[in-house]
Amino acid sequence: MSAVMWRLSGRVIGYGLALFVILGPISSLLLWSIAEKWYWPHLFPQQIGPMYWKKVLEGDMMDALLLSFGIALVVTLLTLLLTVPLSYYLARFEMPFKALIMLLFLLPQAFPQLPVFSNTMVLLYKWDLVGTVPGVILIHLVGALVYAVWILVSVFKSIPVSYEEASINLGASKMRTFFTVTLPLSIPGLIASALMVFLYSLDEFTGTLLIGSPFITTMPIYMYNSAMGYEMQVASITALLLMIPGLLLLFLLERYMKSEYLAAFGRA
């Protein structure tokens, strides 16, 4: 066999393995979602149909879906409001212990989430926020701030300071320069940060389970409850519905996450 054939065979095998790794779990979810009867030792369902899709779409799953999207949207907006001015300040001005401040925003991700959220739950109990939507939003902010700050600091660092200096030299104030020059240039980065935070909040499970359960049921909690009750069809349908917005938003993230933002992470 020639070298060309060997390379072609290697590529085919590589692509086949990649498709198996990617599509294997998804195909299992698809099969479970339409399996009305599937018992061991059969490799495929004995009876397929849309019965469980109808059950899920006509049940309380839609409430969980709308609640998940609502919480993720509020978390995204609050995160941007909090982190845009802070990130700009960290990117543009020198300040004492700047590296330590950036490190503090990594601490929630540096340790296992369970003890972090458990300690936060003690504080939320004192404020009577456990089992409430505001409590779930606050626990989501713990992780969301990490993504937003590090991304936005890199975004603002990637924008040349000379643009702002030119605007100020032409008579614009610093505030006007920020809103008319810096902020418009940072919009792709803001979109990337917002998408990352939205995806994080949409898929967040541990904090939601500790703080919101049993009164707040988001999509990940709904899927967990279904799986624990051995309702594999319902859990599979929920996983597929969670996957669709995630794939769409990741496609948009790849479009707006520019290489200069990633290059600036090390300098943040």
Confidence of residue 267 (pLDDT cuts 50, 70, 90): very low
pLDDT of residue 111: 64
Percent of residues, the chain, with pLDDT higher than 90: 10
The pLDDT of residue 82 is above 70? yes
pLDDT in tens, 182-199: 888 888 888 888 888 998
Q: Is pLDDT of 108 > 70?
A: no
The predicted model gives 135-149 an average pLDDT of 88
Domain residue extents for the chain: 1-49, 52-267
Q: How far is the C-alpha of 176 from the C-alpha of 68, rounded, in Å?
A: 36
Res. 255 pLDDT band, cuts 50 70 90: low
Query: Of the CATH numbers 1.10.3720.10, 1.10.760.10, 3.40.50.2000, 3.40.190.10, which one belongs to the domain with range 52-267?
Result: 1.10.3720.10
* Mean pLDDT of all residues in 143-171: 86
Residues 3 and 210: their CA atoms lie apart, in Å, by 57
Q: Quick one: pLDDT at residue 56?
A: 76
Exposed e or buried b per residue across 197-232, where buried means at least 16 C-beta atoms within 10 angstroms of its C-beta: bbbbbbbbebbbbbbbeeebbbbbbbbbbbeeeebb
Amino acid at 24: G
Strand partners for 48: 35
Q: Taking the model in full, what pTM does it have?
A: 0.77
pLDDT at 77: 95
pLDDT per residue as tens digits for the range 26-39:
777 777 777 777 77
